[in-house]
Amino acid sequence: MSIVIIGGHDCMVCRYKNICKENNCSAKVYTQPNGNLEGMIGKPDLIIIFTNVVSHKMAKIARKQAVCHNIRLEQSHNGSASALKAILAKTNLKR
């Protein structure tokens, strides 16, 4: 399963990737605005937005990509490791 994480804490990027790897997922993490976020998101199986630490522009782009490409979208106000684990546990049940 491929995942794109939008937002979150800069210091947690490696932790986010390790948690995804432990759950047999590959992850891209974007915590800061980049030039071409739409192109960088691609077409993953899941987009996760950590809404407490993300710019409105980045969240809007991620939501648009999810709708346009019929990608599952999960949002969490909390960008913690336990929040990510909970989202992955919930989405793995829906496979």
- What is residue 95's predicted lDDT score, i.e. its pLDDT? 47
Q: What pLDDT does residue 93 have?
A: 52
Asked which of 18-22, 56-60, 89-93 is least confident by mean pLDDT, the reply is 89-93
Ordered alpha helix ranges (H), the chain: 13-22, 37-41, 56-68, 81-93
Rg of the chain, C-alpha, whole Å: 12
Ordered strands of the 2-7 beta sheet:
26-30, 2-7, 46-50, 72-76
Could you give the CA distance from residue 95 to residue 78 in angstroms, rounded to a whole number? Answer: 24
For residue 17 the two structure tokens come to 């990737």
CA gap 70, 9 in Å, rounded: 27
| Cβ-Cβ contacts under 8 Å for 40 (sequence gap 6 or more) | 28, 30, 34
pLDDT of amino acid 94: 53
- Residue-wise pLDDT tens digits, 28-79: 999 998 888 889 999 999 999 999 889 999 999 999 999 999 999 999 999 9
